[in-house]
């Protein structure tokens, strides 16, 4: 699941997981930047605002590698459905928006497993800002791209930075064939589209299972 | 050995040696480093070759001549040191995260120490450089092209000295100095239960990796089994020759003074 902050993808993911579990599918969830391995460095770096676009990128790649090996590949091998709240496309979009070379970051992540389905929850910046401001007082430093020094106003900085991130995501839709969900729509409408996309892949997987058993 | 990486187009990473003082490949688009006056000199080699002694003596010699000198090492960044120590002491580190943690550390030092020093006209003496990472990754079977692309943001040094010793000397020196540690024995690679055999196999593989990089990255290879003074004289002779080239920074003290 991909999308900028405030796109509602985490809500959508939670609803999808409920549906899958209710249907009897084993589900495993993993979240961007959540490994214990790099937590200390990320925290120190963020607190001191000491991260450059390159170290920001590499720390996230380290986190990703750690989770890939512990939280993605083993559950896949065990036949589970892995739901990833953000995947490599987040790095492609954010790092490029920060000025890191696009080709370099793509090659950096070439060790990743290609997802069976990548869904992009696309939302205009104003909608995402409304959602974020409705539940939080302050925009986070890196989330708002404050490290780039484009604006000293968090709101303005968020607009500029996330605008660039959205542009990068738009490139990725074609490049990697991301499935689009209009994330400005109602929660239930989005979930309906989302479930339809996912169910197509589940049918294929089910069919494969039957072939395997007969072989 | 390097055929697979040599066949790649020049742009595809830190292979082909790169142009001294420039990024190996894609580089860091937001940091232009062209025409920086400083020089980057790397001293490479395994454990026990006396890198730090040689660097200390070189620094002294250069500073007497009036050059500004900055030293940098491997795994010393403020950002990553605690994390790398923590990761090494736990069992969760694997070859991929191992490589990426070191690359993050290098990026931090590159942007915060090396590039500013080169910009300000210093001579940067690097105790180990990206070749240490490439060798360790190579031994662990990390894809050659991938790791060279990863380090494509590195700056090709003006000179790379590789202090070379043979396997037997290397093993004795490491045992004498600080003994075998888990990572330097390659115990993570599970080459065998016998720590000594694992250590020996690991060090041998490391030497092979360095040898395979000599041509690729234009190493100036020095026999490190000789006495400290002999090696130092050789280093000084080669560095003096390089610094005498027209585009090098001029020292304060001239020979006539």
Q: Mean pLDDT across the stretch A70-88? A: 96
pLDDT at A215 over 60: no
Whether B82 and A111 lie within 8 Å, measured CB to CB: no
A116-161 confidence digits (pLDDT tens): 999 999 999 999 998 888 886 578 888 899 999 999 999 999 999 9
CATH architecture of A9-214: 3-Layer(aba) Sandwich (3.40)
Strand pairing report for B39-45 and B123-127: parallel
Residue B238 CB neighbours (<10 A) = 15
pLDDT at B146: 96
Cα gap A51→B183, rounded to integer Å: 28
How is residue A59 written in tokens?
A: 């720390």
Residues of B in contact with A44 (CB under 8 A): 79, 82
Can you tell me the distance from the alpha carbon of A2 to that of A178, in angstroms, rounded to the nearest whole number? Answer: 9
Closest partner residue to A69 (CB to CB) among B13, B96, B152 is: B96
> What local confidence, expressed as pLDDT, does residue A104 receive?
97
Would you state the pLDDT for residue B58? Answer: 98
Query: Using the beta-carbon criterion (under 8 Å), do A58 and B93 form an inter-chain contact?
Result: no
ipTM summary value: 0.86
- Inter-chain residue contact B28 with A54, CB threshold 8 Å: yes
Q: What is the pLDDT of residues B206-246, one digit of tens each?
A: 999 999 999 999 999 999 999 999 999 999 999 999 999 87
Q: Are B210 and B222 in contact (CB under 8 A)?
A: no
pLDDT at B178 over 80: no
Is the pLDDT score of A108 beyond 90? yes
How many contacts does A have with B, using Cβ atoms within 8 A? 86
CA distances from B233 to B229, B236, B237, B240 (A): 6, 5, 6, 10
Nearest in space to B147 (alpha carbons), one of B156, B136, B162, B159: B136
Q: Could you report the per-residue pLDDT of A151-200, keeping only the tens digit for each?
A: 999 999 999 999 999 999 999 999 999 999 999 999 999 999 999 999 99
DSSP conformation letters of A154-214 = HHHHHHHHHHHHHHHHHHHHHHHTPEEEETTS-HHHHHHHHHHHHHHHHHHHHHHHHHHHH
What value does the mean pLDDT of chain B take?
86
Percentage of residues of chain B with pLDDT beyond 90: 61
B4 confidence band (pLDDT: 50, 70, 90): very low
pLDDT for B96-121, tens place per residue? Answer: 998 999 999 999 999 999 999 999 99
| Token pair for B160 | 């790379």
**Is it the case that residue B36 has pLDDT exceeding 50?**
yes
| Predicted pLDDT at B190 | 67
pLDDT, position A213: 45
Encode pLDDT of B73-85 as tens digits.
887 677 877 777 7
CA distance B83 to chain A (A): 6
Nearest CA in chain A to B94: A66
Q: Tokens for A67?
A: 């989770």
Is B9 touching A (CB cutoff 8 A)?
no
What does the pLDDT average to over A194-214?
A: 69
Which one, of A145, A41, A194, lies nearest residue B78 by Cα? A41
- Which of A61, A104, A164 should one mutate to test binding to chain B, selecting the residue with the greatest count of B CBs within 10 A? A104
Q: Which two tokens stand for residue A100?
A: 């890191």
């Amino acid at each position: 699941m991909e999308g900028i902050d405030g796109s509602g993808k985490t809500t959508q993911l939670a609803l999808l997981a409920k549906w899958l579990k209710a249907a009897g599918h084993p589900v495993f969830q993993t979240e961007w930047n959540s490994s214990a391995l790099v937590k200390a460095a990320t925290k120190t770096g963020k607190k001191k605002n000491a991260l450059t676009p390159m170290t920001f990128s590499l720390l996230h790649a380290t986190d990703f590698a750690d989770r890939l090996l512990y939280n993605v590949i083993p559950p896949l091998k065990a036949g589970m459905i892995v739901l990833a709240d953000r995947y490599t496309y987040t790095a492609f979009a954010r790092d490029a928006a920060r000025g890191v070379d696009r080709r370099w970051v793509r090659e950096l992540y070439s060790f990743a497993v290609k997802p069976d389905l990548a869904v992009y929850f696309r939302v205009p910046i104003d909608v995402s800002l409304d959602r974020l401001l409705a539940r939080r007082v302050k925009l986070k430093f890196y989330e708002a791209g404050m490290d780039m020094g484009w604006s000293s106003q968090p709101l303005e900085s968020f607009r500029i930075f996330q605008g660039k991130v959205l542009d990068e995501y738009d490139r990725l839709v074609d490049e990697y064939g991301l499935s689009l969900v209009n994330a400005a729509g109602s929660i239930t409408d989005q979930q309906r589209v989302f479930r339809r996309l996912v169910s197509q892949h589940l049918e294929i997987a089910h069919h494969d299972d039957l072939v395997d058993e007969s072989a | 050995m390097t055929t697979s990486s040599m066949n790649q187009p020049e742009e595809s990473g830190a292979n082909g040696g790169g142009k001294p003082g420039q990024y190996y490949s894609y580089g860091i688009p937001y940091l232009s480093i062209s025409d920086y006056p400083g020089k980057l000199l790397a001293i490479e080699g395994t454990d026990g070759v006396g890198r730090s002694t040689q660097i200390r003596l070189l620094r002294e010699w250069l500073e007497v001549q009036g050059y500004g000198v900055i030293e940098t090492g491997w795994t010393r960044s403020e950002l990553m040191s605690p994390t790398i120590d923590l990761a090494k002491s736990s069992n969760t580190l694997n070859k991929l995260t191992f490589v990426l943690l070191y690359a993050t550390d290098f990026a931090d030092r590159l942007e915060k120490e090396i590039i500013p020093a080169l910009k300000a006209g210093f001579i940067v003496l690097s105790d180990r450089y990206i070749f240490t990472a490439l060798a360790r990754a190579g031994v662990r079977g990390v894809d050659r092209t991938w790791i060279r692309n990863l380090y494509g943001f590195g700056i090709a040094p003006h000179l790379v000295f590789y202090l070379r010793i043979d396997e037997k000397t290397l093993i004795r020196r490491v045992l004498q100095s600080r003994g075998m540690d888990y990572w330097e024995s390659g115990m993570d690679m599970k080459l065998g239960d016998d720590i000594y055999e694992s250590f020996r196999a690991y060090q041998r593989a490391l030497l092979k990796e360095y040898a395979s990089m000599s041509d690729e990255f234009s190493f100036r290879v020095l026999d490190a089994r000789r006495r400290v003074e002999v090696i130092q004289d050789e280093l000084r002779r080669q560095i003096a020759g390089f610094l005498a080239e027209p585009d090098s920074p001029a020292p304060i003290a001239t020979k006539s003074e």
